[in-house]
Amino acid sequence: MDEVKPTRGGRAVHVAARQIGATMNAQVEKVYEQVVARNRGDLEFHQAVREVLDSLVPVIEKQPQYAENGLLERLVEPERQIVFRVPWADDAGNVQVNRGFRIEFNSALGPYKGGLRFHPSVNIGIIKFLGFEQIFKNALTGQGIGGGKGGSDFDPHGKSDAEVMRFCQSFMTELSRHIGPNTDVPAGDIGVGGREIGYLFGQYKRLRNRYDAGVLTGKGLGFGGSLARTEATGYGTVLFAQSMLGTKGDSLEGKTVAVSGSGNVAIYAVEKLQALGGKAVTISDSSGYVVDEAGIDLDLLKQVKEVERGRVADYAARRPGARVATGGSVWQVPCDVALPCATQNELDGDAAAILVKNGCGVVAEGANMPSTPEAIEVFQKAGILYAPGKAANAGGVATSALEMEQNASRTRWDFETANAKLTDIMADIHDSCVETAERYGQPGNYVLGANVTGFTRVADVMIAHGII
């Protein structure tokens, strides 16, 4: 496959037959070529599959049972792909039509589990990539959940609460046919927060005439939500970065950190950073980024983004000393640690080179696949500590599974209990990645460690289940 030029809307850049510099054996290469042929135009999905397959070469060569009986071919093909029309009426009475998706990718370890993304950029290729990544992320948590993802090209930004409600009700009218506490458990993602989850759950309950609290996670505390869920992805990413630094006898204390994004992940990454002695100096959204060299004011950030649903420019306007940048990249700001927490492919090879040049020594992904293959190659060649999203940001889905556990027993843990469990899970994920990388002769390679650990946990069960 030849180089693919960048396209608009955050599409993948340089998705080519050679990615991340690894050489694949013939069998694995054949699987990748089949993926490209069957999923033409799904660039993000190609990229995600290639990254995983590259890491699996030493595993396949040492343990051929993983390539037998079409296991790889089955792993890259979703068990079920659901695409549906979502009609709804806006406040003016005009009928709008969006497209909904749910990719139920792999249920070897348990019910499908993964978020719903509402954003204009959503298409089936993005949902496939997110669902595929979710397989390995969920396996890393050790919690018995499979991989799935869903969403719509609906944009909640600028819509009234009533419009969002009508859309969510229409979306769930179709989705409800396919989900359940023991089948498929969606959660939130970009554009889907507590408001949207509430509307979705209400419609599910109305349609099914059942109070299945465990059918969705990320719920409000009044109807089965878990304490620490909102904070979990951002907290977990920072905890993973702290563990990475710990392998070098270092910590986040006194570190300057560049953070992208300004949603839940970024906000609570900033909060955890501050608790551990680090200083976040940037935030961003689609309008640009803010540099606050004194350190992000967490209370102001929460007010602007969580209460007012405003833009980062609104933060800068009310924060003395902060400045807004509309050109360049957040990654041009000098930092010790980088936490990309916005969206896929936001950090390219050029940005990675700037980070390395400016002395950045740690990159932990709070978003899903925010670094392009070229960026990953730069990080690995420079020998800096780099953690892929499927490991570093697994705290969100881990706490979602904890929410499912509480729902099943009709209990609610206090914040300290849920946070302690999250902390233990992130430490276990980190240590598992380190041990696997060392076992395969690539110490410090968190990409290999995460991919191989997640893969073997899923593959062993797929073999046990037979050819299905």
List the alpha helices (DSSP H) in 3-113.
Answer: 26-38, 43-62, 71-75
Q: How high is the pLDDT of residue 20? A: 36
Q: Which two tokens stand for residue 277?
A: 């002695």
In order of start, what are the domains of the chain with their CATH numbers? Answer: 1-75 (1.10.285.10), 80-211 (3.40.50.10860), 230-392 (3.40.50.720)
Q: Which two tokens stand for residue 78?
A: 């979703």
Helix (H/G/I), strand (E/B), else coil: 388: coil
pTM, to two decimals: 0.90
Q: How high is the pLDDT of residue 326? A: 79
Instruction: Divide the 468 residues of the chain into consecutive groups of 10 and give the mean pLDDT of each group.
Output: 34 39 70 96 95 94 89 97 98 98 98 97 96 98 97 96 98 98 96 95 97 97 96 97 98 98 96 98 94 98 94 96 91 98 95 98 96 96 97 97 96 97 98 97 97 98 96
Q: How high is the pLDDT of residue 286? A: 86
Q: How high is the pLDDT of residue 363? A: 98
**Catalytic residue chosen out of the listed positions 149, 219, 255, 272:** 149
Q: How high is the pLDDT of residue 111? A: 98
279-280 and 256-259 strand pairing? parallel
Q: What is the DSSP string of 91-138?
A: TTS-EEEEEEEEEEEE-SSSSEEEEEEE-TT--HHHHHHHHHHHHHHH
Q: Is 421 a catalytic residue?
A: no
362-364 and 95-106 strand pairing? unpaired
246-284 burial, b at 16+ Cβ within 10 Å, e below that, comes to eeeebebeebbbbbbbbbbbbbbbbbbbbeeebbbbbbb
| Distance separating alpha carbons of residues 129 and 66, to the nearest angstrom | 22
Of 169, 232, 226, which Cα lies nearest the Cα of 195?
169
Question: H or E stretch including 157?
Answer: none
